[in-house]
Amino acid sequence: MGYAASLPSVDRLEARVLRTHAELAALADEWDRLYAVSPRATPFQTHAWVSAWARAYVPAGELFVAEVRREARLVAAAPLFRDRRGPWRVLAPLGGAISDHTDVLVAADEPGALDALGRVLLAEPGWQVIDLPDVRPDAVARAWADTWPGRASRLPASTVLELPALPLPDLLDRMPPRTAKTMRRKLRKVEQAGIEVRNVPADEVPQAVGRLLRLHEEQWAGRGGTPEHRTERFRDHLVTALTRMVDDGTAVLAEYSSAGEVRVEQILLLGHDTVSYYLAGISPQLRQDMDTAALLVEHDAGLAVQRGAERYSMLRGLEDYKFRWRPEPVVQERVLLSRPGPGGLAYGALVRARAAAVRRVKEQAPWVRELRDRAVRRIRG
């Protein structure tokens, strides 16, 4: 059952913390309406994404989803779960490490609901700190940190790389002339290959996800890759989330074929103003035949322009192919919101000390400095 917390009547807001998967599932329609009026939220905060992840990754009894209502209307939600990290009980975001952006949802016309989220969580025992790992510069969670009644800490976190949503010729014009010339040659080769692209319908998502993960494993064979992408729970999450997201228009599963054979399966997440390239499985043979990054970026840039988006995001990661397009780096923050008391402060101090140690290593290691400098040179052209 959810824990109901009384808030001052002057707010006319009611808040509670939901603790079961059934309660979270029951919010689907209301959550979708809240997402639609939360302009800073990303697809990683949709009900389809967070509820599918919760089912696949969170044990029963560990959900910690705060909701705020005004006159029965859902106006804010914080999708969290309780995670034990050493001696600390931490509230972490649903979506975990496989999600590139972290945030809470607050209706644009209800900024006061942000304080109500904090109050209802603080009224609930059993946790010491909220740890939000990848918070965008424009995220609501940053405003939440500004008004948090306890200690709030911000640390540099991951970097995402983004392009303005422009027609392909304009994106090529952003490149140095020699790079643009090379890219045009690669794009001509892509065009000559006769690749056909279709959007997979919702009822075919389970089979397409299976092909994507199979191709992804072949693509990364002998080169490491992300172990989580090979787990059954990751597959279950993608199938459940994407079936709904493809159906409601918050995701596209693009399938690239030639000579009757599927060569690429690609997941694109469709936000309020952004098209984001999340994950793909690419045939190793196709990667030998052409620059598959050029193939995908050409498609994705066209989709972003078609949708009237402001940005095309390549999300986290500093892979070489991204820098050829002269992307704009966006540095995210890790936001720690400590409960008043020693426990949360100790956790925050440990996280800050580890972050400082990592920064020192990066500053002192020559090979890390070279990677950083090379990335900066690529961005600046």
| Tokens 């993608």 -> residue | 238
Cα–chain center distance at 276 = 9
Whether residue 138 sits in one domain with residue 64: yes
| Tokens 């304009």 -> residue | 170
Q: For the chain, what is the mean pLDDT?
A: 91
What b/e sequence results for 78-104 when a residue is b if at least 16 CB atoms lie within 10 Å of its CB, and e otherwise? bbbbbbeeeebbbbbbbbbebbbbbbb
DSSP assignment of 31-54: HHHHHHT-TT--GGGSHHHHHHHH
On whether residue 136 sits in a domain, the answer given is: yes
On whether residue 324 sits in a domain, the answer given is: no
Whether residue 191 sits in one domain with residue 140: no
On whether residue 19 sits in a domain, the answer given is: yes
Give residue 13's pLDDT. Answer: 94
280, 282, 279, 277: which is closest to 261 by C-alpha?
282
3-class secondary structure, 139: coil
| pLDDT at residue 315 is higher than 50 | yes
Residue after which a domain boundary falls, among 309, 342, 364: 309
Give residue 342's pLDDT. Answer: 74
Whether residue 86 sits in one domain with residue 18: yes
On whether residue 204 sits in a domain, the answer given is: yes
For 101-140, what is each residue's pLDDT tens digit? Answer: 999 999 999 989 999 999 999 999 999 999 999 999 999 9
Is the sign of the CA dihedral 250, 330, 339, 116 positive or negative?
negative
Whether residue 247 sits in one domain with residue 217: yes
CB of 242 closer than 8 Å to CB of 253: yes
| pLDDT at residue 354 is higher than 80 | no
Q: What is the mean pLDDT of residues 58-74?
A: 96
Whether residue 229 sits in one domain with residue 300: yes
266, 259, 258, 263: which is closest to 299 by C-alpha?
266
CB of 301 closer than 8 Å to CB of 168: yes
- pLDDT band per the 50, 70, 90 thresholds, residue 341: confident
| pLDDT at residue 5 is higher than 50 | no
Whether residue 202 sits in one domain with residue 151: no
Residues of the chain with pLDDT > 90, as a percent, come to 82
Whether residue 213 sits in one domain with residue 347: no
Whether residue 294 sits in one domain with residue 241: yes
For 160-203, what is each residue's pLDDT tens digit? Answer: 999 999 999 999 999 999 999 999 999 999 999 999 999 999 99
Whether residue 236 sits in one domain with residue 194: yes
On whether residue 318 sits in a domain, the answer given is: no
Contacts of 241 (CB under 8 A, 6+ apart): 48, 49, 52, 53, 251
Based on the structure, what is the number of domains in the chain?
Answer: 2
Whether residue 231 sits in one domain with residue 149: no
Give residue 3's pLDDT. Answer: 43
Give residue 39's pLDDT. Answer: 96
On whether residue 107 sits in a domain, the answer given is: yes
What b/e sequence results for 232-271 when a residue is b if at least 16 CB atoms lie within 10 Å of its CB, and e otherwise? eebbbbbbbbbbbbbeeebbbbbbbeeeeebbbbbbbbbb
On whether residue 132 sits in a domain, the answer given is: yes
Q: Read off the CATH number of the domain in which 129 is found.
A: 3.40.630.30
For 227-285, what is each residue's pLDDT tens digit? Answer: 999 999 999 999 999 999 999 999 999 999 999 999 999 999 999 999 999 999 999 99
Q: What is the pTM of this model?
A: 0.91
Whether residue 123 sits in one domain with residue 173: no
Backbone angles phi, psi at 290, to 5 degrees: -160, 170
Judging by beta carbons within 10 Å of its beta carbon (0-12, 13-18, 19+), is residue 330 exposed, middle or buried? middle
Domain coverage including residue 49 = 3-158+332-380
Show the tokens assigned to 311. 């940005």
On whether residue 317 sits in a domain, the answer given is: no
Residue after which a domain boundary falls, among 309, 340, 364: 309
Whether residue 32 sits in one domain with residue 130: yes
